[in-house]
Amino acid sequence: MTTQEIQTDRVRAYLAQLTAPARRHLLAEIERLQAHGETVPGAGPILAQLRAEFRATGDAHYHQGNPTRYFYQPLEPMLVDRTPEQAHAGHISRESLGPIWEWISEVALPTLARDYVEEMKLLIAADNRPAAVKVAHAFQTKAAKALEISLGPPANAARVRAELARLTSSAAIFDDLLKILCVLRARDALAEFAAAFPVKIEKFEGEAFARVQRQLNTFTAAHADAMPFALTIISKHLKTPWQLIRLATKISDSKKAADVAATPYAIAVSMVLDHLDARRESLGHALRQQHVVLARDVLVDIYDIEYALRVRIDQLDESEWGGRLNELMQAVATAVDAEIHTIDGSLHHILGSQALHSGDTLAGRLTYFAWKGRDAVTDSVAYCKKLMNQHHA
């Protein structure tokens, strides 16, 4: 277990001892301190855990009275509870928001930010949300224009990197700052783009796929730099997130990895690999907490993603995508091997039940391989292809 994983488990154990109201109060207090530019040591893992909890329960009112939250509202669909280093081109790490706001309010735009906060406090106290949204909208526009000018020259970028380095140890936070600027510039277009989709796209194929592709092409033609964020929005509307890769594979001249990589939306493949990595982390946590049913479901999802990548992209192992996929799947196998002995023996039947490794579902077969241990990824894929051929015969 890594140091980060140990720290995360300790945070979860500590928070589990608090009542729900106490956890809500703790979250609100940490965010209040950060909004006023104060550094809270070790706040990252605590915020990630608490935000995930209250989003899951629908209890999101805790952040509505914060001027900073109003400012960051356009970023909400792109925020992830991962480190800045782990956030791909279409994601922004929540860990970056506190330090970046501190830099904006104290270094980059102190006067504008101070006036904004003071005006917002009055509107929030009066419960005048429409006016607060309007003021936040105006400040976002001013901030985006000012940041665009200040971040333009290379020398300025180096200075900003140094200023941010005094607030956080993450060098990748500068990338998140650039992403925030990109989202603010394309704020209205991204909102319009997101509003055009149904809550969930059950199957990303046929007319549903064609409609999304047309909308994405139109958006990208006008906002090419914001395309990764548009892909993130699409993925959030897909019932099966890995289907995002179809935006790259379906328009490729062939299924070869090199040809798929040459398509305009090739980044979708990397984004799906990031999604797989996040599922790997979820699997490790579920195993350590002995949440066996959850671990089984996450593992099925992981192998569904792997299978989808391998059957839709030829010569995958010869590409960087294939190398990363192999590393991730090896990490999955290692996580299972490391934790399986800690699980109560009476629960092993859930992991090895006939339903999981019967011929009824491909995902079940793949899950069975995971618990038995695979000699090689290619062996399991070859076996699955053989099964599919038998079913179609």
- pLDDT tens digit string along 277-312? 999 998 888 888 888 888 888 988 999 999 999 999
Between CA 312 and CA 235 the distance in angstroms is 18
pLDDT at 360: 37
Q: Is the pTM of this model over 0.85?
A: no
Between CA 313 and CA 38 the distance in angstroms is 48
C-alpha to C-alpha distances, 128 to 32, 68, 140, 205, nearest whole angstrom: 20, 16, 18, 43
pLDDT at 206: 94
pLDDT at 61: 37
pLDDT at 209: 96
Q: What are the residues whose beta carbons fall under 8 Å from the beta carbon of 335, sequence distance 6 or more?
A: 280, 283, 284, 287
pLDDT at 333: 87
pLDDT at 59: 42
**Which residue ranges in the chain fall short of pLDDT 70?**
1-9, 19-22, 24-25, 28-29, 31-39, 52-65, 342-393
